Every structure is written in C-alpha cells, then in structure tokens.
Amino acid sequence: MKVLLAKPGLDGHDVGVKVLAHALREAGFEVAYTGLRKSIEQIADQAQLLNPDVIGLSILSGSHLILCAKMRDELERRALNIPWIVGGNIPDQDVKPLIELGARCAFPSGTRIEEVIRYFEGMKQSAG
C-alpha cells in the first residue's frame, strides 16, 4: 500500500511527519514524503503522479480548516478519488468540520504511532 505524506502550508514542524514516515516504512508501507511548504496544488500534482492509496496531510500551524477546504476543492476539481487524512495540532472541535470537508480521519498530535499504523492497516484490509 502506497502512502503519500505531505506538508501543506507554511509551518516548518516536520519532526512528526518524518517520524511517521519512518514508522510506516518499517511497518511495510511504501512511503513518499513531499517535503515542507507545499501548496495544495503541488500536493495534488504529486498525488496524480504517484497514484498513492492514501494521502496524509501534516499541519501544525492552526490553518488546517483553510488548507483542508482547499484540499477538498482541488481533489474534486481534478476528479481524484484518493482518500486523505490529516494529522497535527488539531483541536477536538475541529475534528468534525474536517471530516465534513472530506478527511477520512484526523489525528491530533500526541496520537500514538501504533494507532496511526493500525488505522492504515485497516484501510489496507478494507481495500484489499
């Protein structure tokens, strides 16, 4: 299963997303990571190019609602039907709006790595 991890927006906190990339790779997933400060358009470009099974957005600046609304629009515009999830500094009250915007799941910072991996494993099984 192919995972595309991405950092939209301007925040430079990439320790977490890289730790997750290592963990997913170790758990047997194929992982690509975009690097910092990608626009939603650039992330969609990468998704079209790499054809991942799932996209993970890492956002710690507080701009997750604005960026995820863009994500929904961009994927719709390109008719890309790739599930996406979001992780980072996500307040509880923002989880529901994020799901409504189309995120499959939202992991606030502090989530245990194995929990995230279990979620991806579950996606793998339901897909396969």
Partner 1 sequence: MTNGESKKEQTADVKRVFLESGIEVKSLYTREDALAGNPQLDAELPGQYPFTRGIHPLMYRKRPFTMRQYAGFASPEETNERFHFLIRNGQTGLNVAFDLPTQCGLDSDDPAALGEVGRVGMAVDSLDDFERAFAGIDLSKITVSMTINGSALVLMAMYFALAEKWGYDLSTLRGTAQNDILKEFIGRGTWIFPVDKSVKLVVDTIEYCARNVPRYSPVSVCGYHIRESGANPVQEMAYAFCIAKAYSEETLRRGVPVDEFASRLSYNFDIYGYFFEQIAKFRAGRRLWAKIVREDYGAQKEESCWLRMIAGGGGAGLTKEQPENNIIRTAYFAMVSALSGTQTMALCTYDEAYTIPTEKAAEIALRTMQILTHETGVCDTVDPLGGSYYVETLTNQFETAIREEMAKVDNWGGIVDAIASGKVQEAISQQAYQRECDVQQGRVLKVGLNAFHSDEDRQEISFHPYNQDAADKQLARLAQIRANRNALEVDDALNALRLDAQANKNLMPATIRAVKAYATVGEIIRVLREVYGEYKEPVFFNYA
Per-residue CA distances from 53 to 10, 29, 81, 119, 124 (Å): 25, 10, 10, 13, 9
Which residue in 35, 100, 118, 127 binds partner 1 (CB under 8 A)? 35
Segment interacting with partner 1, rule: CB under 8 A, options 71-79, 85-93, 96-104, 117-125: 85-93
Least Å distance, CB 75 to partner 1, is: 18
Instruction: Examine residue 96 and tell whether it contacts partner 1 (CB under 8 A).
Output: no
- Per the CB < 8 A criterion, the answer to whether 25 and 54 are in contact is no
Q: Is 101 in the site for partner 1 (CB under 8 A)?
A: no
Residue whose tokens read 């890309």? 80
Q: Which of 74, 68, 78, 51 is nearest to 104 (CA)?
A: 68
Residue span binding partner 1 (CB under 8 A) among the ranges 58-66, 77-85, 96-104, 120-128: 58-66
d(C-alpha 14, C-alpha 106), whole Å: 17
Binding interface with partner 1 (CB under 8 A): 2, 5, 9-15, 18-19, 21-23, 25, 30-33, 35-37, 39, 50, 61-63, 66-67, 89-92, 108-110, 112-114
